[in-house]
Structure 1
Amino acid sequence: MFWILFCIFLAACLGAGATGGLFPPGPWYRSLTKPWFTPPDWVFPVTWMVLYVCMATAGARVAQLDGNGVAMAFWALQIALNGLWTPVFFGLQNIRVGLFVVLGLWVAVALGMGAMWQIDPVSGLLFAPYLLWVTIASALNAAVWRLNPQAVRAGRPSA
C-alpha cells in the first residue's frame, strides 16, 4: 500500500513541478536584478527532485496512519500553493503576489511539518529540507521584490 500512495503523492508533486515547464523563467526573469545568494540554475531541478521524493514519502507514510486529517489537509494546501507560485511569479510576472504565495506556502509547510511530526516524526523530519528551501525561496522572492522596484510598480520590468 505504501508504494501506491507514494506514487500518488509523487504524481501530485510532479504535477506541481510541471508548472515550471509551462512557465519557465525566460528573459523576463534574467532581466531582473537578483541577490548575491541566488543559487545557480542547475540547483533548482536537482533540489526539487530530492524534495519531491521527501514530500511524497512523508505524505505516503502519514496517509496510512490514524488521525492524519490535519496533516493531510496541510499536505494538500502546500502542494496547491507550491503549484501556484510559478504561474504567479513567472507566468503573470507578479513579484508581489508571488511573495504572498510563497509566504503562504512557508506557513503551510511549517504547520504541515508540525502536524506530521505529531503523527510520525520521520515524516515531519522529511519536510525539514523543504521548509529550508521554501525559506530560501521566500528570501529570494523578497530580495527580487526589493531590488526591482520598477518591476513591482509596473507588474513587469521595463525591458
Structure 2
Amino acid sequence: MNRILIHILFIVIVLGCGLLIGINNIPGEWYQSLAKPSFNPPNWIFAPVWSALYVIIGFVGARTLLNHRDTTAMRFWVAQMIFNFAWSPLFFGFREIALALIVIVALLISIVGFIIVSRKQDDLSALLFVPYLAWVAFATLLNTSIFLMN
C-alpha cells in the first residue's frame, strides 16, 4: 500500500474516532455543575486542540507502523490510543472522575514512553508528540483539580 495513503488512512481513522468519541461525550449540565479551577479553559477550545493533536497522532502512528512496526514505540503508540479514547467516556459518559484520572495518568506515561523510545529511532515522531505531551499534562492537572474540588 502507498505510504501516503497509509498516512492519510491513519489520520482519518484517528481523527474520526476522536471526533466520534467527542460527539458522544459532550460536556453537559453535570460537567457545568462541577467546581473547576480558575485555569479551566473555555469548552470551545477542546475540539480544535484535540483535532489538531489527532492529526499529529495519526501521522506519527503511520510513521511508526511503516518504519518501526514491531517495536516498543508501536506498542506505546497503541497504548496511548487506548487510554486516549477511554478517557472521555469514563469522565463525561460514566462521570467517573477518579477512574478517568487513573486513565489519564496512564495516557501521560504512555506518551512519555513513546517519546523516550522513539527518540532513538525517529526524532521527528518524538518531537511531534511533545505538544501532545504538554496538552495531556495540562489535562491531567485539570482532571486532578476537578477530582480534588469535587
Instruction: Return the offset for 1:17.
Output: 3.8
List gaps (5 residues or longer) in structure 1: 149-159
Instruction: Return the offset for 1:117.
Output: 1.8
The answer to whether 1:105 aligns with 2:116 is no
Whether the 8 Å CA contact 1:62–1:119 is kept in 2: the answer is: no
Secondary structure of 1:118's aligned partner: coil
Partner in structure 2 of residue 86 of structure 1: 88
The answer to whether 1:65 aligns with 2:59 is no
Whether the 8 Å CA contact 2:14–2:55 is kept in 1: the answer is: no
Partner in structure 1 of residue 10 of structure 2: 9
Larger CA deviation: 123-132 vs 59-68: 59-68
Partner in structure 2 of residue 154 of structure 1: none
**1: CA distance, partners of 2:69 / 2:17:** 26
Larger CA deviation: 138-147 vs 46-55: 46-55
**Kindly, what percent of the aligned residue pairs are identical?**
34
How big is each residue's C-alpha offset from its partner over 1:2-23, in whole Å with a ceiling of 9 and x where there is no partner? 3222223221343134211112
Q: TM-score, normalised by structure 1?
A: 0.87
- C-alpha distance 118-68 of structure 1, shift in aligned 2 (>3 A): farther
Partner in structure 1 of residue 45 of structure 2: 43
**2: CA distance, partners of 1:142 / 1:79:** 21
Instruction: Return the offset for 1:67.
Output: 6.4
Instruction: Return the offset for 1:24.
Output: 1.2
Whether the 8 Å CA contact 1:16–1:79 is kept in 2: the answer is: no
How big is each residue's C-alpha offset from its partner over 1:77-136, in whole Å with a ceiling of 9 and x where there is no partner? 101110000110001101100100000000011101222222110110000000000001
Size of the alignment, in residue pairs?
Answer: 148
Match of 1:55 among 54, 57, 71: 57
| Amino acid in structure 2 at the alignment position of 1:3 | I
The answer to whether 1:34 aligns with 2:36 is yes
